[in-house]
Structure 1
Amino acid sequence: MADGEKALILENLTDGENPNLKVVSKDEQDNPKDIEQSANRPGRMHDNGQGQRSALDDTDWHELAKERFAADLADMLYEKAHKGKFEALVIVAAPKILGELRDALHQEVTNKVIGEIDKTLTNHDVRDIEKIVKSELAK
């Protein structure tokens, strides 16, 4: 379960019909807003023509950190899958992070994915998460 700044690894102690989730690990990163991380104003570039200049986009450090977080999570899942730490995986993530994870996951992990839920649930109570996951997987 991830949202780009926080990841929760939950283990189901029972079955899919009546999940009983337990938090195995929690990982958070400090990722301030982009304006707090940017040091400079966006640059400008001279264009062809007299006195013409174009603005350049500055790096969005906040979004870049979220992408790196998803890549790190994918690496951690690969390590656990390779060691046989789980047989099946349901990924619950914010839609953008779910896309980043899909791109970054190793084939060994994707072979174990039995469901995906594109919702941000990292700040929900575990009992609420159980209900939502059960409902979403039943669809």
Structure 2
Amino acid sequence: MSSKPVKIEQGEWVVVCDGSKALFLQNAGDAKFPNLQTREVMEQEVPATSEIGTDKPGRSYSSVGAGRSAVEQTDFHTQQEEEFLRSIMAKLDAAAQAGKMKSIIMVAPPRAIGVLRQHYTHALKQAVREEIQKDYVKMPVYEIEKHLAAA
């Protein structure tokens, strides 16, 4: 986590995301006066698990006695969010492999950062300069700039 202001170098990418939206930004300014421009926006509708799953949780029966217990329902909402985060990493990896970016600043809530880290390829590990564990994805770009400068 960052407690000091973040210097965003010229041409550096800033990826702001969560489990349902990602903003791919690039600094068109310089480190002193950043000017984040949107390169791409990815969005995914992630319905609640109750809307996705149709059955009630299953039951398991004990092999000895008459005991029964509920089986935990699959969290489809979390699965879809993690799949979306994996797709972000695939897109970033392709850009890194193609040499389209030198470095990246990742900005995401702590849980999303944890999922993203699991999918860093060698190229992405080299490219990620900083991780900021904040949820800025619903902010306009100029607000994101301000928050990063004050981080």
* TM-score (normalizing by structure 2): 0.86
Of structures 1 and 2, the one scoring higher in RCO (CA 8 A, sep 6+) is 2
Structure with greater helix percent? 1
Q: Which runs of 5+ in 2 are unaligned?
A: 1-15
Cα distance, 1:52 vs. partner?
A: 0.4
Match of 2:37 in 1: 22
Given candidates 10, 16, 28, the residue that maps to 2:25 is: 10
Runs of 4+ in 1 over 3 A off after TM superposition: none
> Which residue is 2:85 aligned to?
70
Over aligned residues, Cα RMSD in angstroms?
1.0
1:83 positional shift: 0.5
CA contact (8 A) 1:75 1:105 kept: no
Contact kept in structure 2, 1:8 and 1:27, CA below 8 Å: yes
Corresponding position of 1:135: 150
TM-score by length of 1: 0.94
Equivalent pairs counted in the alignment come to 136
Q: What are the superposed Cα offsets for residues 60-95 of structure 1, whole Å, 9 maximum, x if unpaired?
A: 100000111111111110000000110110000111
Residue in structure 2 matched with residue 100 of structure 1 by the alignment: 115
- Contact 1:18/1:134, CA 8 A, preserved across alignment: no
Q: Which runs of 5+ in 1 are unaligned?
A: none
Query: How far apart in 2 are the matches of 1:32 and 1:51?
Result: 37
Counterpart pick for 2:124 among 90, 98, 109? 109
Between the two proteins, what is the percent identity of the paired residues? Answer: 32
- In terms of mean alpha carbon deviation, does 46-55 or 124-133 score higher? 46-55
Structure 2 partner of 1:83: 98
How far, CA to CA, are the matches of 1:90 and 1:80 in structure 2? 14
Q: Please give the secondary structure, in 2, of the residue aligned with 1:80.
A: helix
